[in-house]
Amino acid sequence: MTRAIIARRFTMAALTALLSLGTALPVLADDTLTVFDWSGYEDPAFHPAYTEKHGGSPDFSFFGDEEEAFQKLRSGFKADLAHPCSQSVVKWREAGLLEPLDTSKLTHWADVLPSISGMKNLMTSEDGTAWFLPFEWGNTVLTYRTDTVQPEEVTSLKAFADPKFKDRVSIGDNVDDAYALASLAIGLKDWAQMTDAQFAEASDFLRAVHKNVRLYWTDNTDLSQAMGSGEVDLAWAWNETATTLQADDIPVAMNKGTTEGLSTWVCGYVRLKDGEGSEALAYDYLNAITDPEAAAYMVESWGYGHSNAKGMAAVAPEILAEKGYDDVDAFVANTLFQSPMPIELRQKMIAEFEKIKAGY
């Protein structure tokens, strides 16, 4: 029995005794930690130092996309840490959902990859206050079945709108990935500079893609099952999809070299305002997930990059080359970073994407 379980049982017994005596309850120090996360990130291999120190993992609650998470938090849901991505950080911060980070308690704060730490308005606000600790980064990339699709058919992202792929396409039920695809397809790599005319052009592209969509996927399991069964041949997918399917000998490949490029996102952890768990446990968890020891597992098993520069440097060169991370500078040059964008633009994308999925 772990120390955490023993402590919880002791606390419950004490509460029961106090209630039976009609005694007013004292303020008790909480020894719990709740992480609001994407499904899959509860994997203990991401935070081994935490489990070693505390005898187990924290409690987890899950969301399907960041807008769902945002609305749930605004409605009063309580957690201590959450796992948003770069494009949402400013929105969450300005909505008053976040608690500043104390960087003196973050062991690996200074080791974040320069290409990530240099992103404007991501880790800190303009006044220097720290809000966001990057954890992982990866791509949304053209992914296809090699037994039904020829490489020459998918050299361009415009393939997603090609009538030959009708009912054979899947993209995420995720406004950020959708408009990253559309932005790239119209030749735009900085979506924060999107004009009204470009927004209309990108939305029209997504309407053309919608005609081919078999499935709007919500998590990697949905998409992997659809591609593994042959229901879907062409997908706009995270690295994890191809990595896990290839491990099961499913004939899939990623094309990171399409004419228009690919999308790169950065996700990480924030402290939530009014969290009811332990601050000490929160920092233990943040330090565990950014420990360089977690990098090799992240890259090899999930196909994502880790935020810790020392951790990435220690990954075997052949694994970095296999995953396409051996030349980060060349990689970044052909990518749209899902960086923070004006809140008004993101709200407009959310509204328009709902209409597109509904067939309007």
Residues 271 and 186 placed together within one structural domain of the fold: no
Distance separating alpha carbons of residues 359 and 207, to the nearest angstrom? 8
Say which residues have a Cβ less than 8 Å from residue 153's Cβ, sequence separation at least 6.
159, 162, 164
Measured distance CA(36)–CA(80) in Å, rounded: 8
High-pLDDT (> 90) share of the chain, %: 71
Residues 69 and 12 reside in one and the same domain: yes
Residues spanned by the domain of 145: 138-264+337-357
Lowest mean pLDDT among 165-169, 200-204, 215-219: 215-219
Q: State the average pLDDT over residues 299-328.
A: 89
- Grade residue 192 by pLDDT with cuts at 50, 70 and 90: confident
pLDDT score for 331: 67
Predicted confidence (pLDDT) at residue 322 exceeds the cutoff of 60: yes
Mean pLDDT of 84-98: 92
Q: Is the pLDDT of residue 22 over 70?
A: no
DSSP assigned state of 301: I
Residues 15 and 63 in one domain: yes
Q: Is residue 270 part of a domain?
A: yes
Residues with Cβ within 8 Å of 154's Cβ and at least 6 positions away in sequence, in order, are 142, 144, 234, 255, 258
The pLDDT of residue 11 is above 80? no
Domain membership flag for residue 331: no
pLDDT of the residue at 20? 46
pLDDT for the residue 112: 95
d(CA 203, CA 326): 34
pTM of the model: 0.78
pLDDT band at 62 (very low <50, low <70, confident <90, very high): very high
In terms of domains, do 83 and 120 share one?
yes
Residue 29 has pLDDT above 60, yes or no: no
Average pLDDT value for residue range 308-336: 85
Answer yes or no: do 170 and 315 share one domain.
no
- Rounded to whole angstroms, the Cα distance separating 298 from 260 reads 27
Given a cut of 60, whether residue 249 has pLDDT beyond it is: yes
pLDDT on residue 6: 35
- Tell me, yes or no, whether 130 and 145 share the same domain: no
255 & 348 share domain? yes
**Residue 61 and residue 204 in one domain:** no
Q: What CATH number is given to the structural domain containing 350?
A: 3.40.190.10
209 vs 120: which has the higher pLDDT: 209
Are 342 and 308 found together in one domain?
no
- Same domain? 144 vs 127: no
Angle of helix 220-229 relative to helix 239-247, nearest 10 degrees? 50
Q: What is the mean pLDDT of residues 213-227?
A: 93
Give the pLDDT band of residue 15 (cuts 50, 70, 90).
very low
Count the domains in the chain. 2
Q: What is the pLDDT of residue 8?
A: 38
- Residue 329 counted as domain residue: no
The answer to whether residues 146 and 128 belong to one domain is: no
Contacts of residue 187, defined as CB under 8 A and 6 or more positions apart, other chains included, come to: 260
| pLDDT at residue number 335 | 87
The answer to whether the Cα torsion of 360, 180, 232, 241 is positive or negative is negative
Residue pointed to by tokens 């000998």 = 249
- What's the whole-number mean pLDDT along residues 155-181? 96
| Residue 303 near residue 239, CB atoms below 8 Å | yes
Q: Greater confidence, 101 or 256?
A: 101
Counting residues of the chain whose pLDDT is more than 70, the rounded percentage is 90
Mean pLDDT value across residues 302-325 = 91
332 part of a folded domain: no
b vs e for 260-276, b when ≥16 Cβ sit within 10 Å of the residue's Cβ?
bbbbbbbbbbbbbeebe
Residue 27 has pLDDT above 70, yes or no: no
In this model, does residue 358 exceed pLDDT 60? yes
Same domain? 110 vs 228? no
Asked if the model's pLDDT at residue 154 lies above 90, the reply is yes
Q: Is residue 297 part of a domain?
A: yes
Q: Where are the beta strands (DSSP E) in the chain?
A: 34-38, 59-63, 81-82, 98-99, 133-145, 169-172, 213-217, 234-238, 252-255, 262-272, 305-306, 335-337
How many whole angstroms separate alpha carbon 22 and alpha carbon 128?
49
The dihedral built from the CA positions of residue 170, 197, 65 and 75, taken in this order, carries a sign that is negative
Averaged pLDDT of the chain: 89
Query: Sign of dihedral through CA atoms 91, 281, 63, 335?
Result: positive
